[in-house]
Amino acid sequence: MRNQHNINTIVFVAFFTAITFIATSIQVPMPALIGKPFVHLGNAAALISVLLLGYKRGAIAGGMGLALFDFTHNYVLDAPYYFFEVFVVGGLATLVIQLLNYRAKPQSFKLILIILAAIIAKFVTTTLHNFIIR
């Protein structure tokens, strides 16, 4: 029985890693004078993996999916940052879930607050990455 649980865990982590990679690969280009910026749904898929698999397994799956995309699309230097960013954003979303007691009494406005907390965390970490690290 324990062995079956381990196999299921590995399969779910691999599945959400693939989902995050595919969601990141579907890109919408943005106009810019410098570079080739794009918008993708990879961060949303990473957050969904955290919400469905739990913090630890979901963050590993989402982080591996984003890092795999970065490695395969020539963003190798950014891969470690985005891997750990999933842990920060997912950790904040998990904390808000616990503070709002969402699992005991799910309500739509609580879900909106969880999503807003994740968006704010993503905005802050991206701003820190762009202005401090670079």
In the chain, the number of structural domains is 1
At 30-45, the pLDDT tens digits run 888 887 878 899 999 9
Tell whether the model's pLDDT for residue 111 goes beyond 80.
yes
Model pTM score: 0.87
Helix-helix angle 79-99:108-128, to 10 degrees:
150
- Domain span holding position 110: 2-133
pLDDT tens digit sequence for 61-81:
999 999 999 999 988 988 899
Task: Evaluate whether 84 touches 60 at the Cβ level (below 8 Å).
Answer: no
CATH of the domain at 47: 1.10.1760.20
Q: How confident is the model at residue 134 (pLDDT cuts 50, 70, 90)?
A: low
Distances (CA, A) of 86 to 30, 32, 89, 105: 23, 26, 5, 26
